[in-house]
Amino acid sequence: MSELDKRNELSAARVKAMLLGAATGDAFGVPFEFLLADEIAQYSLDTMRGSGDDIPVNSHWGQKIPAGAWSDDTSMAVATMESIIRTGGELDFTDLMNQFVAWWEKGEYSALDFPFGLGGTVAMAIGRFENGVPALECGGTRERDNGNGALMRIFPVVLYLLAKQAGREERWETISKASRVTHGHAISPLSCIIYGEFLRAILRGDDVEKAYRAAIVLPYEDWLPGDKEWQTALAAHRRILSAELIGLTPSDFNATGYVVDTLEIVFYSLLHADTYREAMQTAVNFGFDTDTYATIAGAAYTKVEAIPPQWLARLKRRDYLEDLAHRFSQVLKLN
C-alpha cells in the first residue's frame, strides 16, 4: 500500500496519524452502521456524511449523529490512551476500566456531549466492574462473548508495548489482558494479538501484505499448548492464519460484530486497497458494523497525509485528538 509510511520507527507523528486514521474511519462509517451492503450501495461514499446533510443516510445513526462524530470505537481507544497518560506511562487495568466507566457514565472522551454506540458485551463488563468485580475478571468468558469491542480499542496498547520495546511474550500477555477486561474468551485476545503483530510489522516498514504474512506465521499454537480454549481460538482464525482470505471475494465474508469476522474484513479491506479512502470505502461497503471495520483499518495508516483532507476537516474534536496524541507520545518518550 503506497500510502503507508515506510520509515522504520515509532514516532509522535505516526501516533497522531494512527489516531486520526482510526477516528476518521470511525466517523466515516457511523452513518452506515447496521445497514446491509445493498442498502449502502445507493449512497456515494466519497464524503463524510451526517445528520446535517441535505440528504442524510436513512439509518439508525444517519439522522441523529452529525458528520465527523466518532463513536465508542474511538472513545474507548481514547480512554485507553488517557489512562496510560494518567498512570505516567503504565498500563493499569483497574484505571483502564475506570476510564471506560467515565466515558459511558459521564460522556468523557466522546466526540459529542454524550457517548453512543456501546456494545452489549462491553456494557456487561462495565456493569461487572461497577459491581466490584476485579478488572481482569470482567470480560465475558463464553464463546458467544467474542464481539469486536476489544479489537477496536487495542491499537494504543500495541503502541505502548512497542514504545517500551516489549518482547513477544510480554506483548502477547499484555494484549491478552487488555482484551480480557471486556472480552474474556480466548478468541478475542488472539484476534487482538494477531492485529497487534500486524501493526508492529507496519510500523517497522512492511507493506500491508508483507505485514499480514509476517503476523500470521508467528507460533501462536505454541503459546498455550494444551489449552482447549486456545485451540478453539486458533481454529476460529483458520482463514486468517492460513492466508486463505487473500484470495476471497466480498461475498465470502460475514459482516457481523463477531471479532474474527471483523478482523477478516479489516485485513481484506487493507489488502485490496491502494489508498486510505479505498480501504475505508471497502470496509464500509460490507455493511453492518461499518464504523468498527473502518476504525480498525484506519489505525493501520501512519501518515496523516493519507487521510482525505476534506474528511479530516469535518472530524469532530480534531484538536483534542491531536493534543491527546501529543501527550500520549510524550509519556511514551517518543520524538
Instruction: Report the binding-site residues.
Output: 71-73, 289, 291-292
> What is the C-alpha to C-alpha distance for residues 271 and 274, in angstroms, rounded to an integer?
8
At how many degrees (to 10) do helices 276-285 and 290-298 cross?
150
> What is the C-alpha to C-alpha distance for residues 101 and 104, in angstroms, rounded to an integer?
5
Residue positions in the annotated binding site for Mg(2+)?
Answer: 71-73, 289, 291-292
- How wide is the angle at C-alpha 203 spanned by C-alphas 197 and 204, nearest 5°? 95
Q: What are the C-alpha distances in Å from 2 to residues 39, 197, 297? A: 31, 20, 15
- How wide is the angle at C-alpha 211 spanned by C-alphas 237 and 12, nearest 5°? 115
> What is the C-alpha to C-alpha distance for residues 258 and 59, in angstroms, rounded to an integer?
21
Non-local (6+) Cβ contacts of 281 within 8 A are 45, 273
Nearest partner of 294 among 305, 307, 281, judged by Cα: 281
Contact between 90 and 161 under an 8 Å Cβ cutoff? The reply is no
